[in-house]
Chain A
Amino acid sequence: MASRQYATFEVADQLFGLEVAMVQEVLSFHEYTPVPLAPRSVGGLFNLRGQVIAAVDLRVQLGLQPRDFEGPAMNVIVRTPDESVSLLVDRIGEVVELDDETFEPPPDTLTGPSRELITGAFKLDGRLMLALDTGRAVQTSIGSAVED
C-alpha cells in the first residue's frame, strides 16, 4: 500500500500538509522587509543565509485577514522550479506518514479561495489534514484569486 510523508502545519486552527519532498526547511524568523505595492499576500522578504526569500502569507491566500508581524512567524520554505518561497503559517506540526487510502478529493462544500489551493483531504484520527497545491499556494501574481 502506497504511503507518503507529509509535513504538517496549522493556519487558523486548520491542519494543512505538504509533501515532505517539497519542503526545504522550516524555521522561525522575525524580521521581514515589506514590499510596497506587492500583492497583499506577500508578507515580505527575508534573508535566508544570503538568499532573499519572499514570504507568502498563507492566511491571505486562504482568504483570511493578513498576519500581523508582531514577533516571529513560522516559515515553511518550499522549493518551486524557479525559486525557494516561504509560506507563513501559525504553527508547525509533525511529519506524518499517510496512506493514499485515507485521501479524498476536496469536499464539494469547500468553496472560496481555499478551494483553489487544496488538492484533497486526508482523514487523520479525529481531524482532517488538507493537502496544499504548492504551485498555487505560492502564486501571488496580481489577479490571482486572493486579490480583493
Chain B
Amino acid sequence: MEELGDIVQEFLVESHENLDQLDRDLVALEQEPGSRELLSSIFRTIHTIKGTSGFLAFNRLERVTHVGENLLARLRDGTQVMTPETTNTLLRMVDVVRTLLTTIEETSAEGEVDVDGVIEAVTACIEGGSPAAPAAKAEPAAKAESAAKAEPAAKAEPAPAAKAEPAPVAEPAPAVEVGTVPAPVAPAAAAEEDHAGAEPGVGQTRRSIAESSIRVDVDLLDKLMNLVGELVLTRNQMLRAVTASSDPALARTGQRLNLITSELQESVMKTRMQAIDHLWSKLPRVVRDLSSSVGKQVRLAMEGRETELDRSLLEAVKDPLTHLVRNAVDHGIESPADRRAAGKPAEGVLTLRAYHEGGHVIVEVADDGKGIDPARIAEVAIKRGLLTRDQVAHMERREILNLVFKAGFSTAEKVTNVSGRGVGMDVVKTNIERIGGAVDVESTLGEGTTWRLTIPLTLAIIQALTVECGTERYAIPQVAVHELVYLDGQNGRVIEHAMGAQVYRLRGKLLPLVRLDETLGLPDSSGDRDVYVAVLQAEGRKFGLVVDRVLNTEEVVVKALSSRFKEIGMYAGATLLGDGRVALILDVPSLARRAHLNVGAVDRAQAEIDATKGGNDNVDRLLIAGVGERRVAIPLDMVTRLEEFPLERFERVGAREVVQYRDQILPVLRLAQLLGVYSDTEQAASVPVVVYTERGRSVALAVDRIVDIVEDVVGAQRDFGDDGLMGSAVIQARVTELLDVRRAIMAADPRFDAEGVDTDGGLDLDPTMMVGA
C-alpha cells in the first residue's frame, strides 16, 4: 500500500476518536466496576476496530482486538469481575492498539510492532480469572516491554511514536489527561496526513504537548489579560510623561518598559490562542461524507492551518464555518458531469484559507464551482417581494450578492437535507457579527465562490474607531466601519431630509442617517454642518452615523459592561482610552435597527431620485488624484485601498520599484512617469498610493495627492491617445484625464494580465478605506 486509501483514512480518524473515549471509559469503569453500560460501550468500540482491521487486513491489530474483545465479553457477561489489574491490562491493550494505528498512519503498514506480549497478558487475564500474582509481574513487564520491544522493532520513523505511546501504560489515571489534551493534534494529524511518514515527528510532538503543558483556568487567563490591558494603558501614560522629560536614562527605561510590555501583551494573548486547524481537522470528514452522499468529487485544500485565534472565538466560528463548507459542497461545486461539460476537471476543489490581515483573522471558504449568478439572486428577491425591480436595477453587484445573507433566502433549485432551506446563511451572518466579525461573499459566475469571514483576533482587544459626540467619546468596532465622510455643508456634502428621515447622498445613493446625539438622547450638539458621517454596516444594511468628530483608530481592550446597562441595548461594552477614561463601545447592530425605522422613507426618496435621473446609469465613481499639475481620474471600482507609504518603503527589484505591503511585494507604478510629468513627491517624505488588488495580486499606483472622490457622468470624453489613458473629461469644472487602469498596470506588471484579470469584476472595497473630503 503506497498511499492510504480513503477507507483507511476514515478508519484512522474514527479509531483515534474512539480510543480517547475508550481511555475515559476504562478509567470510569474502574470507579464503577459493574457498569454494564460502560462495558458495552467499550466492547462495541473494540469490536468495531476489530471488524474493520480484519477487513483491511491489519492482522496484528485484529489479533490484539480479538483477545481484548474476548476479555471484554467475559466482563460484560459477568463471567469475570473487573479488577485494577484487568483495567491495567485493558489499558495496555488500548495503548498497543494506538501504537499500531500510529504506525499504520505513518507507514501505511503495521510494521513490526510487537503484539504478542499484550496478547499473552490479556489471555492470562482471561484464563487466570485474574489472581493477584501476575499483576505484580505484568506491570513492570508492561513498561519495559513496550518501550524495549517497540524500539528495535520499529527502528525507522515509527520509533518516536512507539516510544511516546506507552507512556500512559504505567498509571491509568494520566491516561485521561493524555487522551484529552493532545486530542486536537491527534485526529488532525490522522485525518490530513496524506503521505505515510511525511512527519516522523508526530509522535514526538504529541509527547511534548502532553508533558510540557498544564491546564489553566480560563478565568485566570482573563484576569491576566485584563491586567496586561491595564499595564498597556499605564505604559502609554508613562511614555507620554517620559517624552516630556529630557532625562536620557528615563527615556531608555521607558523604551525598555515599552518593549517588555508589548511582548508581555503578546504572550498573554497567545495563551488563549489556538490554531484554526483545531476546527478544520473535523472538516475533511464532513466534506468526504457529504460529497459522496450527493455524488460529487471534492478535494479539500487547506492553507494557513496554523493561523491562531482566540479560543472562545474559535468556538463561535465553528458552526458558521461548517455550514459554509457544507453549502459549498452541496451548492457551490457541480456534479462531475456538469463540471466536465463546463470544461473543468471532474474533481472540484474546496479551499480553506486562513491568514492575518490588519488585526483580524480572515477565513475564506473558496470553491471552484458554478458561482452565484447575481441576476438569479435579483430575480428571486423580486419574486419574493423583498425588492422591487427598480431597486434591483440600482443595486451594486456586490449588494445583490449579499442578499444571500437575508433570512429565508435560498436560490437552491431543490431543497436537500443539507442546505437550500434558506436557513443558514443568515445564521452564519448573525453568529459572525455577534463576535464582532463580518461575512462577505464574492463570486464569479462559472468560476467559483469565495466566502470570507473577518474575525477579530480576540474578543478582548478590538480595533475601534473613536468618535466624539457632545463632550464624550465613543468607540465603534472598526470591522463595521466602511468609510468616513466629512460633511462641510457645501458642494452637495449636506444632510438632506426625506419625509422626516435624514439622509446623505453617498455617491448618488441615499444613505439613511442615524444621529448619535439624538439616538442617545443627548442635546443636539452638532447641527447639519461640520459633522462626520461614519458609514457603518450591520445586519446587511448600510447606514451613516452622524458624529461631531472622528478622533482615531486604536486598539482597545473590551471590558464587559455591567448587566444593568444591558436593557439599554446601545452598548456592546466599555473600554479604557489612552488617558484612562472610560468610553462606551457602541453596538452597531442596534444602531442599524434604528436606521431600519426610516428605510421606507429613504427607499421612496431613492426611487424618486432614480426616476428623475431618467435611468441614466452612466454615472461613474471616480477617484481624482493629482499628478504634478494634472488631474487623473481612476474608476473607484478598481481601487481597493488608499495608502500613504514613507519614501524608505520603496525598494528596487531590477528596474522596477516595489513596496512590501501586507506580506506581499507590490510593484509600484508612478503615474508621474507614465504621464511624463514632473512629480512633486520625489522629495516628499511619503507618497500617496492607490492600491489595486485582484485575486491576491496588487499593484500600487503612486500619485502626488488624492484630491477627491466624485461621481460624474463621464460623457464628454476626447481621446488624445496618450498611453495608459482613455481620454479626458471635464470633472468639477477641470479637465481630468481618465486612467486606463488595466493598461497602466500592464506597464508596471506585465504578468498581471496572465491570469485573465477581469476588470469588471466587483472588488473588495476594504472596510477601512478612508474617503476624506
Contacts and interface: CB of A to CB of B under 8 A. Distances in A.
Interface of A: 31, 33-38, 42, 45-47, 49-52, 54, 82-83, 85, 140-142
A131 to B, nearest CB: 23
Interface in B548-589: 559, 561-565, 567-568, 570-571, 574, 576, 580-584
B140 to A, nearest CB: 53
Given A35-B584, A45-B574, A54-B565, 15 more contacts: A31-B581, A33-B574, A33-B581, A33-B582, A36-B570, A37-B570, A38-B564, A38-B568, A45-B582, A46-B582, A47-B580, A50-B576, A83-B562, A83-B563, A85-B562
A44 to B, nearest CB: 8
A142 B581 contact: no
Contacts of B584: 33, 35, 45
A140 B574 contact: no
B167 interface: no
A144 to B, nearest CB: 10
8 contacts: A33-B584, A35-B565, A37-B521, A52-B561, A52-B582, A54-B565, A83-B563, A140-B564
Interface stretch (B97-105, B225-233, B248-256): B225-233
Given A46-B582, A50-B576, A37 B568 contact: yes
B472 interface: yes
B230 A141 contact: no
A36 B582 contact: no
A141 B472 contact: no
Contacts of A52: 559, 561-562, 574, 576, 582
B520 interface: yes
B390 to A, nearest CB: 37
Interface string B214-257: 00000000000011011001000000000000000000000000
Nearest to B579: A31
B582 A49 contact: no
Contacts of A47: 576, 580-582
B715 to A, nearest CB: 48
A37 B520 CA distance: 6
Nearest to B560: A52
B229 to A, nearest CB: 6
B733 interface: no
A34 B474 CA distance: 11
B684 interface: no
Contacts of B559: 51-52
B564 A141 contact: yes
Q: Which 8 A-B pairs give the minimum distances between C-beta atoms?
A: A50-B230, A36-B520, A33-B582, A45-B582, A52-B559, A52-B574, A37-B568, A54-B562
A148 B590 CA distance: 26
A50 B574 contact: no
A55 to B, nearest CB: 10
Contacts of B226: 50-51
Contact of A50 (B229, B561, B562, B564): B229
Contacts, number: 60
A49 B231 CA distance: 10
Nearest to A84: B562
B483 to A, nearest CB: 25
A34 B523 CA distance: 13
B3 to A, nearest CB: 55
Contacts of B229: 50
Interface of B: 226-227, 229-230, 233, 472, 520-522, 559, 561-565, 567-568, 570-571, 574, 576, 580-584
Contacts of A49: 230
Nearest to B562: A54
A19 to B, nearest CB: 22
B631 to A, nearest CB: 44
Contacts of B522: 36
Nearest to A41: B564
Contacts of B581: 31, 33, 47
Contacts of A34: 472
B572 to A, nearest CB: 13
Contact of B567 (A36, A50, A141): A141
B230 to A, nearest CB: 3
Contacts of B561: 52
B546 to A, nearest CB: 15
A45 B584 CA distance: 9
Contacts of A38: 564-565, 568
Contact of B472 (A33, A42, A54): A33
Contacts of B571: 35
Nearest to B227: A50
Contacts of A82: 562-563
Nearest to B567: A142
Contacts of A54: 562, 564-565
A49 to B, nearest CB: 7
Nearest to B564: A140
B583 A33 contact: yes
A47 B583 CA distance: 10
A45 B559 CA distance: 12
A34 B584 CA distance: 9
Best-surrounded residue of A31, A36, A49, A142 (most CB of chain B within 10 A):
A36
Nearest to A141: B564
Nearest to A140: B564
A36 B570 CA distance: 9
Nearest to B520: A36
A57 B568 CA distance: 18
B557 to A, nearest CB: 8
Contacts of A46: 582
Contacts of B567: 141-142
A64 to B, nearest CB: 20
A142 B567 CA distance: 8
Contacts of B582: 33, 45-47, 52
A50 to B, nearest CB: 3
A55 B498 CA distance: 41
A34 B568 CA distance: 13
Contacts of A141: 564, 567
A26 B295 CA distance: 70
A37 B582 CA distance: 16
A83 to B, nearest CB: 6
A141 to B, nearest CB: 6
A52 B574 CA distance: 7
Best-surrounded residue of A38, A49, A140, A142 (most CB of chain B within 10 A):
A38
Contacts of A35: 565, 568, 571, 584
Contacts of B565: 35, 38, 42, 54
A142 B520 CA distance: 16
A7 to B, nearest CB: 22
Contacts of A45: 574, 582, 584
Nearest to A138: B564
A33 B564 CA distance: 16
B597 to A, nearest CB: 16
A129 B689 CA distance: 70
Nearest to B234: A50
B526 to A, nearest CB: 15
Best-surrounded residue of A31, A34, A46, A52 (most CB of chain B within 10 A):
A52
A49 B576 CA distance: 10
A54 B561 CA distance: 9
B310 to A, nearest CB: 19
A103 B229 CA distance: 46
A46 B559 CA distance: 12
A50 B571 CA distance: 19
Contacts of B230: 49-50
A30 to B, nearest CB: 11
